[in-house]
Structure 1
């Protein structure tokens, strides 16, 4: 398994909605399919901040965050930033740092990257509303670890730690995660 197919095209990670549950999905890459959770509001082509939906889109993988003390080294072509206690992600649509990493203390609305529940122990940043950013279009769309029982996310894509470890070794910056 490599980064390109025999025809030279970049491989893509595909996220397909489960037919019987709008908050569940299947993530497929290079012949491997694993169960996943998506947004509590399912999928949408019209993503808005706080709607709880996963955007129907082709999003490039940019880089990731990792809780090094919990996860250890990961073989991947992605840049991984070790999460520290003061790392946050701004989700305040009217703030200049909207949909960007920020550091504590930070007064505007934000999400803590160092979570007690372990969801962001491996957290990959998808290019949703980042390189071409617009207010209220949604923030913090990540590819991260799952809650027990595949509970829905706030709009992200989540898979098991075992599946993430299996897939991350083939992930590279610019690889596309396509939600259909």
Structure 2
């Protein structure tokens, strides 16, 4: 009986297993029952498990690398001469940006060609990033006597396509997208309502500086407020003909001003219907007052001034196809 009890004790001991927390590959096995496996078998099994785990780790690493690399492979492509020659702004537009982003008021001025000095103007607005809605009717305006030339503005510092480039004294109005700067008036209190734009009261001291070498180039200043006058033959704004009685500065070549790229571009009153300017956009008094009463600096108003073919090409890429669909047909 004593021997039988001993054999039963051995049998019970054989099915007992002991587990410990593994710290290495070789330890990721239960400790074998005493007397069940010899050391050689244990070594073979441990080696097999280590190789399997290394193989699994390599496969996991390969999968992660594929996940990272495949999207890049899909988007990468050869650089074409056309792509390499695009301006920085054009690349931004291609990436989904638009020079119209952030604005809720827009004044559209459209000509039939770069060399045309007669145009149509209409206002648009929106409450958010959606479609533009027309405000009022379109009206006749006039441009520089030689038409349009690509300017420097919200759209970028380089042309968005073929055509002349704006320079000082070329008799052309700037083409592109521009912010509005300061409004001005001889008597701001005569406006229909207080302007919601920064307003400069024009006096006999008020000039717009056109001298390329001046530190005040392309700015409206009062001569009696600057430390030293460093310009000659400025555009004196208190004019006998009253063309600047009401107006707006167009931020062409500003605030990043380039000497010689054009200066003192305004919306102002015209001399007579159809009379071109030396580079500004001119209109009748009713149209000018309507623009001044409507513009609101908090809505970041802009002016889009383009030949029709350029508008048709660019507006869809700016998310503003409705500006093309709406034809500016003459009403006067």
**SS of the counterpart of 1:56?**
strand
Instruction: Quote the residue 1:72 is aligned against.
Output: 190
**SS of the counterpart of 1:27?**
strand
User: In the TM superposition, what whole-angstrom CA distance separates every residue of 1:82-136 from its partner, at most 9, and x where no partner exists?
Assistant: 1111111110111111111233474523100101111100110111112110000
Q: For the aligned residues, what is the CA RMSD?
A: 2.0
After TM superposition, give the deviation of residue 169 of structure 1 in Å: 1.5
8 Å CA contact 1:62, 1:126 repeated in 2 = yes
User: In the TM superposition, what whole-angstrom CA distance separates every residue of 1:10-42 from its partner, at most 9, and x where no partner exists?
Assistant: 1310000157x8111111113321000000110
8 Å CA contact 2:109, 2:120 repeated in 1 = yes
Query: 1 or 2, which has the higher strand percentage?
Result: 1
Once residues 140 and 121 of structure 1 are traced to their aligned partners in structure 2, the CA distance between those partners, rounded to angstroms, is: 15
Structure 2 residue 305 is the aligned partner of structure 1 residue 179: yes
Instruction: Quote the residue 2:44 is aligned against.
Output: none
Instruction: Quote the residue 1:123 is aligned against.
Output: 247
Once residues 63 and 74 of structure 1 are traced to their aligned partners in structure 2, the CA distance between those partners, rounded to angstroms, is: 18
Once residues 48 and 93 of structure 1 are traced to their aligned partners in structure 2, the CA distance between those partners, rounded to angstroms, is: 11
Please list every run of 5 or more consecutive structure 2 residues that lacks an aligned counterpart in the other structure: 1-101, 125-133, 151-164, 307-332
**SS of the counterpart of 1:148?**
coil
**SS of the counterpart of 1:60?**
strand
TM (norm. structure 1) is 0.87
Once residues 93 and 64 of structure 1 are traced to their aligned partners in structure 2, the CA distance between those partners, rounded to angstroms, is: 23
Once residues 162 and 9 of structure 1 are traced to their aligned partners in structure 2, the CA distance between those partners, rounded to angstroms, is: 24
Once residues 11 and 67 of structure 1 are traced to their aligned partners in structure 2, the CA distance between those partners, rounded to angstroms, is: 25
User: In the TM superposition, what whole-angstrom CA distance separates every residue of 1:24-65 from its partner, at most 9, and x where no partner exists?
Assistant: 111111332100000011001210000010111111112211
Instruction: Quote the residue 2:166 is aligned against.
Output: 47
- Compared CA separation, residues 118 and 25, structure 1 to 2 (3 A): same
Query: 1 or 2, which has the higher helix percentage?
Result: 2
**SS of the counterpart of 2:184?**
strand
Once residues 170 and 149 of structure 1 are traced to their aligned partners in structure 2, the CA distance between those partners, rounded to angstroms, is: 23
Instruction: Quote the residue 1:25 is aligned against.
Output: 119
Count of aligned residue pairs for this structure pair: 171
8 Å CA contact 1:87, 1:112 repeated in 2 = yes
Query: Counterparts in 2 of 1:83-102, with a 5 A limit?
Result: 83-102=202-221
Once residues 16 and 22 of structure 1 are traced to their aligned partners in structure 2, the CA distance between those partners, rounded to angstroms, is: 10
TM (norm. structure 2) is 0.49
Farther-moved stretch of structure 1 (147-156 vs 97-106): 97-106
Instruction: Quote the residue 1:14 is aligned against.
Output: 108
Flag the structure with larger Rg. Answer: 2
